[in-house]
Amino acid sequence: MSSLHKSRIADFQDVLKEPSIVLEKLRELSFSGIPCEGGLRCLCWKILLNYLPLERASWTSILAKQRGLYSQFLREMIIQPGIAKANMGVSREDVTFEDHPLNPNPDSRWNTYFKDNEVLLQIDKDVRRLCPDISFFQRATEYPCLLILDPQNEFETLRKRVEQTTLKSQTVARNRSGVTNMSSPHKNNAPPALNEYEVLPNGCEAHWEVVERILFIYAKLNPGIAYVQGMNEIVGPLYYTFATDPNSEWKEHAEADTFFCFTNLMAEIRDNFIKSLDDSQCGITYKMEKVYSTLKDKDVELYLKLQEQNIKPQFFAFRWLTLLLSQEFLLPDVIRIWDSLFADDNRFDFLLLVCCAMLILIREQLLEGDFTINMRLLQDYPITDVCQILQKAKELQDSK
């Protein structure tokens, strides 16, 4: 470890040990990348995403309260419905009209169960393919959810629901956009064995199953948006970061902490996932156009070239912005980009500048290429040095 890196770690530790953390100092340090040693990144993200307050003295009580609340969500939305499902219609005499699966009442328990199944199957389909370039999500977690796996509990778990249902997940796919492919070509080249994760033996849980549970709880608590394909790519890096925390006391609660950080992050970007808001000022169409208007201001020649070739921002920037670049780079690089995004006071304005920087850094290739070549460049971005991209984006920010 270099002396410079040791110095950066010491700087973070100095800021984080203060009774009341100075947010501006933490943001300034985090913008240039957060060290992973000692769980610094995990702690900084929780502060930057407004999960932990700036007053250190309140951390213990707030964490206990939030983690207890998440356990309550598990009981109310997975365990109790699972018990009810197991008990419904034990014999023909027990089946009332209210409990009958063919009851047309939209508020019936069966109707709710079937609707939840549609959401669950789409989540299951997506999380099984999460980050196929690494094996982490396939592996068993060190801290499986004891509430769910308790052998004394006889109820239908999410795993059993997926196994027992006769619905096909392909028929309930809910894509965010029918125009844009949400998956990056270079991320789909994993061996077939990694594309569909195997279910582990009873008593064990894979990391992807934990992510599935987080997304299902989020969908139940947010019926207005529920689950939309792509949310799995947002929660994945968060969970990976917290579940690999070197501090075992924090790692043990990665599921609950990820849920609340994901919820806070989605509160800021959820409009990107709501199609009816696309053309509003907070919608994704406006943001994509903002990337091009920024490019026009910074590099009019490149802007005119893309306009001439009729390369619309929807063809590439939709995925860049909606998924916070999580599909354009490998996971360690995504995490580094997110250090800067979370640290910036206007983090999603900075994301627009990162996208603009990505275009400018390949301007020569884009100016020389035809439509087909340029679309290939933009759909499978060629630069892997994310520090170069972030530096360029910072230059664009400073030149305003």
Using alpha carbons, list the distances in angstroms from residue 390 to 68, 170, 362: 38, 38, 14
Give the pTM: 0.87
How confident is the model over 48-74, as pLDDT tens digits? 999 999 999 999 999 999 999 999 999
Question: What is the model's pLDDT at position 368?
Answer: 97
Q: What distance in Å separates the CA atoms of residue 362 and residue 381, rounded to the nearest whole number?
A: 9
Q: What mean pLDDT value characterizes the chain?
A: 85
Q: What distance in Å separates the CA atoms of residue 215 and residue 125, rounded to the nearest whole number?
A: 12
Using the CB atoms, write b or e for 125-163: b if 16+ within 10 Å.
Answer: bbbbbbbbeeebbbeebeebbeebeeeeeebbbbbebbe
How confident is the model over 238-260, as pLDDT tens digits? 999 999 999 998 999 999 999 99
Question: What is the model's pLDDT at position 106?
Answer: 57
Question: What is the model's pLDDT at position 339?
Answer: 97
How confident is the model over 82-118, as pLDDT tens digits? 676 556 544 334 444 455 555 555 555 656 777 888 8
CB 16 within 8 A of CB 40: yes
